[in-house]
Amino acid sequence: MLNIKLQNLPPYGKLFVGITTTLMLCVVLWSMIIFYVDQGIMGDNDKPLYMQDKTEQVQESLLNNNGESQLRHNVGLAHTHINGQTLLYFVIGFIFLFTSTKDKIKKYVYWIFGIAVFTHSIGLTGQGFYSIFDDLLALSGVTLLVVIPYMCLLIIVDLFKLPEGQHE
């Protein structure tokens, strides 16, 4: 029987589980924001100051072609992305946990991947309202497109290694 307890995980394992759990809580947070927008409790006029840009172009684009508010669209998109990216984080991160990669590198990769997922969702939520969100979205998107293949490559390399103690 496999006897693995969270308290006995190595530090990078605890980090991985902690970030996965935190990202799942973010999924719930974005769900609540969607609910608030749908119920009219929060709308485009109630955006935080850092998301408000008073240019005419932004004011004209508050409603998209379907009559849906831009904020509702963005939050829904961010929610979908944080769900999918957290699933990717968990699956790839779990497999990566068992690679021969050095513990310190695992720790950095988990941090970078987790922060990229979170900041990508923030960027999507504010996309089109203020340029900092667009920049955040681009930077986090590129980070994800570097970290995920990096982890996959290290996983594949380990798959082709001979078991410890076995020589050709």
What would the pLDDT profile of 123-163 be if each residue is shown by its tens digit?
999 988 888 999 999 999 999 989 999 998 998 888 887 77
Query: Which residues sit opposite 86 in a β-bridge?
Result: none
One-letter amino acid identity for 50?
A: Y
Interval 7-28 mean pLDDT: 82
Question: Residue 2 falls within a domain, yes or no?
Answer: no
**Domain range holding 70?**
10-47+55-159
Question: Residue 83 sits in a domain of what CATH number?
Answer: 1.20.120.550
Question: Residue 5 falls within a domain, yes or no?
Answer: no
Whole-angstrom CA distances from 62 to 71, 112, 159 are: 8, 33, 50
pTM for this entry: 0.72
E strands, the chain, in order: none
Q: What is the pLDDT of residue 124?
A: 92
Tokens representing 64 are 């998209």
Question: Residue 168 falls within a domain, yes or no?
Answer: no
Q: How many domains does the chain have?
A: 1
Question: Residue 29 falls within a domain, yes or no?
Answer: yes
Query: Which residues 6+ apart lie within 8 Å of 51 measured at CB?
Result: 126, 129, 130, 133
What would the pLDDT profile of 90-125 be if each residue is shown by its tens digit?
999 998 888 889 999 999 999 999 999 999 999 999
What would the pLDDT profile of 21-80 be if each residue is shown by its tens digit?
888 787 778 777 877 777 677 665 665 555 555 454 444 555 555 556 888 889 889 988
Query: Which residues 6+ apart lie within 8 Å of 106 measured at CB?
Result: 12, 16, 96, 97, 99
Q: What is the pLDDT of residue 49?
A: 54
Query: Which residues 6+ apart lie within 8 Å of 38 measured at CB?
Result: 72
pLDDT-derived band at 19 (thresholds 50, 70, 90) equals confident
Are the CB atoms for 144 and 116 separated by under 8 Å?
yes
Question: Residue 164 falls within a domain, yes or no?
Answer: no
Question: Residue 115 falls within a domain, yes or no?
Answer: yes
What would the pLDDT profile of 27-41 be if each residue is shown by its tens digit?
778 777 877 777 677
Question: Residue 167 falls within a domain, yes or no?
Answer: no
Question: Residue 152 falls within a domain, yes or no?
Answer: yes
One-letter amino acid identity for 45?
A: N
